[in-house]
Amino acid sequence: MHPASRGKGAGLVVRCLVRGAQACAVVEVATGAEWKLELLAPEGFFEGLVPKRPTVFRYQLRVTYAGGEVRQFFDPYSFLPTLGDQDLYLFNEGNEHRIYDKLGSHLRAIDGVAGVSFAVWAPAASQVSLVGNFNHWDSRYHPMRSLGASGVWELFVPGVGEGEVYKFAVRDQAGHVRLKSDPYGTYFEAPPNNASVVCDVTKFTWSDEAWVNQRRALADQPDRPVSIYEVHLGSWRRKPEDANRPLSYRELAPQLADYVGEMGFTHVEFMPLAEHPFDGSWGYQVTGFYAPTHRFGPPKDFAWLVDYLHRRNIGVILDWVPAHFPRDSFALAEFDGTHLYEHADPRLGAHMDWGTLIFNYGRNEVRCFLLANALAWMERYHIDGLRVDAVASMLYLDYSRQEGQWIPNRFGGRENLEAIDFLKQVNELVHRYFPGALMIAEESTSFPGVSRPVASGGLGFDYKWNMGWMHDTLRYFAKESIYRKWHQNDLTFGMLYQYAENFVTVFSHDEVVHGKGSMLYKMGAWHIAEKAANLRALYAHMWMYPGKKLLFMGGEFAQSREWNHDASLDWHLCQYPDHEGVRLLVRDLNRLYVGEPALSRNDFNPQTFRWISCQDADSSVLAYLRHDANEKVFIAVVGHFSGASRTKRIGLPRGGMWREVINTNSEYYAGNGIGNEGGRETEAVACDGFDQSINATLAPFSTIVFRWEQVERIGASAVSGSVGV
């Protein structure tokens, strides 16, 4: 309804399109007065004049259908826009951190009328229409309003409710129409339809306040116990009796919480759960950045999973993929007929390796989309941290490109300055709004300061995956033992840069796919028992080495075959000692690591690490110390990675009893039991630069962990300086 001059006098013009209508009238809500409209086209297009009324009033449409049915409802175009000038200004500036509350679909009541407001950014479109079951997917029924130079199109549709499916019909300047899902959609249909679904994600009642308060209290303590169990939700466990389907969010929660709690991990990290059309991408080709995938239940069930884990004192980290997005025609690619979210030039906007598109981080609205996305996961779903995928591909313009396939930055360099600024900004915002939340970079280069504060010139991440340590260590353990003495540097080189970043030592899903073999089968040995012994020795070294921990599911019980995203883990293997022994060891390593501050609260303190012996390559022995800052607790780690038993003298900084708290060759872990009878008393024999030493018995392919702690004697009683493990 709008004022217009027509014929002999002024009045208000009303036009509408109603499929299958025989008659239509305008009804004034306040008085019930009625004005009939004229049918101008058989498709249901009506027009009429309300004479002598200069001011728009509140009205409804009364429609008569064939058969006499009469319906009366509010016209969507009788409502003012739901976005204000300030919202649009901040969005165009890139600083509307809650843009997810403005764009997308939102259940609202305006002037007492319930409905859904829809808004989408498509600045180059000539027209955008809302389509769905409620209008028979006919783009003529709900053309959206352009909100000026902002590029945003908006419409409030009364009567539409939760569960309605919809898309945007985006007409470009050449007249071509693309059906697009909602970039800010919170729930999606399954492929191949991929329609967005109206869903209120604010209704969930949380009960994890104690956990969130605890997380906030740890905001200034990045060097705290963090041991992460990486999970692909679709293949952790399945239901073979029900067509081998994956567990739902609600089915998974108690089983995963029980298992992770028993195993002693502090966090789970879910591989990407944002909506994606292709299972084989493992979630890394995202089309619905704001929506938990439909595969395992609605968004409220995902919230229930997170809430349940929090109540069991387990943190939740989510893989986040701001580095690229797929070319699927229904999603972000060429959204309004132009390269809106991606760069137009493929030398900037296309990933050669993955066939995907790269976000234009220099465009304010694109940056706003991604910044708000990180914040939305934490606000809506109480996520405790984001592991940012493929950071190296974001940092460098020449990532995986040949000469001539990339464009230097404005200074002539290879760094992607806009992406670097974006990463700094997202890390600062997450830490500002959600103290204690963790930002973790999967970054494989030597880019400086990834896990250093932005104020100190860094990128602002809390942690960085230690990819160099992982590659070197696996290369060493993949060799047969007789060749290892020539590769001792693979175990020692990483200490040269260990404290340059806040590292997480990782064996992730990337190491057990694409023909790389399982963790068990990577080990350089011929028999399963020897492979298991090597893997136990490797895990104990990993858990004692400085750095937070991450292990991909299945690795903890030495799964034999490579990971398959379409099948459950091989849980039946736990009935066999070689596999169950590895699982029990990982459980005990977690308990030792988490419960011993000398380990878990000194991962980033170079003053609390010291080599004992790192040069005995002929014996394939590696020994080092971990201790607390006050030197009241010492942990001595002795790795022996050859196939022969031996006795070796190990120098130690303190005299007294060094208790054997972990021996990977224990019969309990399916070893043969060769060890040190629970510990060794030091002797006044100089070795390795120390005045004291022990004569340690080293089994083949084993890692032994000794612990010494200061004991203060008061009278006849002994008081320990810390709790034993």
Q: pLDDT tens for residues 611-653?
A: 999 999 999 999 999 999 999 999 999 999 999 999 999 999 9
Q: Which of the residues 307, 365, 384, 442 is marked catalytic?
A: 442
Q: Are 700 and 533 in contact (CB under 8 A)?
A: yes
Distance between CA atoms of residues 520 and 522, nearest Å: 5
119, 82 contact by CB (below 8 A): yes
Average pLDDT value for the chain: 94
The string of pLDDT tens digits covering residues 106-149 is 999 999 999 999 999 999 999 999 999 999 999 999 999 999 99
**CA dihedral sign, ordered 268, 274, 279, 283:** negative
Q: What span, in angstroms and rounded, lies between the C-alpha atoms of 609 and 628?
A: 9
Query: Is it the case that residue 604 has pLDDT exceeding 70?
Result: yes
**Whole-number Å distance between alpha carbons of 655 and 211:** 42
Catalogue all structural domains in the chain, each as residue range(s) with its CATH number.
2-78 (2.60.40.10), 85-197 (2.60.40.10), 226-596 (3.20.20.80), 605-720 (2.60.40.1180)
Catalytic annotation present for 365: no
CA 263 to chain centre: 22
- Segment 320-343 shows an average pLDDT of 97
Contacts of 521 (CB under 8 A, 6+ apart): 531, 560
Judge contact between 565 and 621, C-beta under 8 A: no
Q: pLDDT category, 6, cuts 50, 70, 90?
A: low
Angle formed by the axes of helices 299-311 and 249-263, to 10°? 20
> Nearest-CA neighbor of 237 among 692, 577, 706, 570?
570
Q: What percent of the chain has pLDDT over 90?
A: 92
Position 52 scores a pLDDT of 87
Alpha carbon distance 229, 365 (integer Å): 35
Q: Is the pLDDT of residue 352 over 90?
A: no
Distance CA 461, CA 395 (A): 14
pLDDT given at position 714: 47
Given 96, 182, 319, 389, the catalytic residue: 389
**Confidence tier at 716 by pLDDT (50, 70, 90):** very low
Task: Round the CA-based radius of gyration of the chain to a whole number and report it.
Answer: 31
Residue 389 a catalytic site member: yes
Q: If you average pLDDT over residues 171-178, what whole number do you get?
A: 96
Question: Which pLDDT belongs to residue 353?
Answer: 85
Q: Taking residues 367-396, report their average pLDDT.
A: 98
For residue 709, the model assigns a pLDDT of 84
Give burial (CB, 10 Å; 0-12/13-18/19+) of 455. exposed
Averaged over 174-203, what is the pLDDT? 96
pLDDT digits (tens, 9 = 90+) for 31-45: 999 999 999 999 899
* β-strand pairing of 548-552 with 227-231: parallel
Res. 692: pLDDT tops 70: yes
Q: How far apart are CA 228 and CA 231, in angstroms?
A: 9
Q: Which helix (H) or strand (E) holds 590?
A: helix 577-595
3-state secondary structure of 355: coil
Q: What is the mean pLDDT of residues 374-397?
A: 97
Phi, psi for 436 (deg, rounded to 5): 95, -15
Confidence band, pLDDT 50/70/90 cuts, at residue 9: low
Contacts of 14 (CB under 8 A, 6+ apart): 1, 26, 35, 37, 46, 47, 48, 49, 50, 59, 75
pLDDT of residue 725: 34
Longest CA–CA span in the chain (Å) reads 115
Q: Establish whether the linkage from the previous residue to 192 is cis, with ω within 30° of 0.
A: yes
Q: What is the pLDDT of residue 503?
A: 98
Closest CA to 257 of 211, 303, 308: 308
Separation between Cα atoms, residue 383 and residue 212, nearest integer Å: 10
pLDDT exceeds cutoff 90 at 467? yes
Q: How confident is the model at residue 54 (pLDDT cuts 50, 70, 90)?
A: confident
Range with the lowest mean pLDDT among 67-71, 235-239, 497-501? Answer: 67-71
Comparison of pLDDT for 712 and 623, the residue scoring more: 623
- In this prediction, residue 719 has a pLDDT band, given cuts at 50, 70 and 90, of very low
Q: DSSP secondary-structure letter at 417?
A: H
CB contact at 8 A, 541 and 505: no
> Which token pair is 436?
């204690």
Mean pLDDT score, 180-194: 97
pLDDT at residue 586 greater than cutoff 60? yes
pLDDT band at 66 (very low <50, low <70, confident <90, very high): confident
Is the pLDDT confidence value at 329 over 60? yes
Question: What's the whole-number mean pLDDT along residues 358-385?
Answer: 98
Q: Is the pLDDT confidence value at 720 over 70? A: no
**Dihedral sign of CA atoms 550, 553, 556, 562 in order:** negative
DSSP E strand boundaries for 406-445: 438-441
Residue linked to tokens 């038993």:
645
pLDDT over 60 at 8, yes or no: no
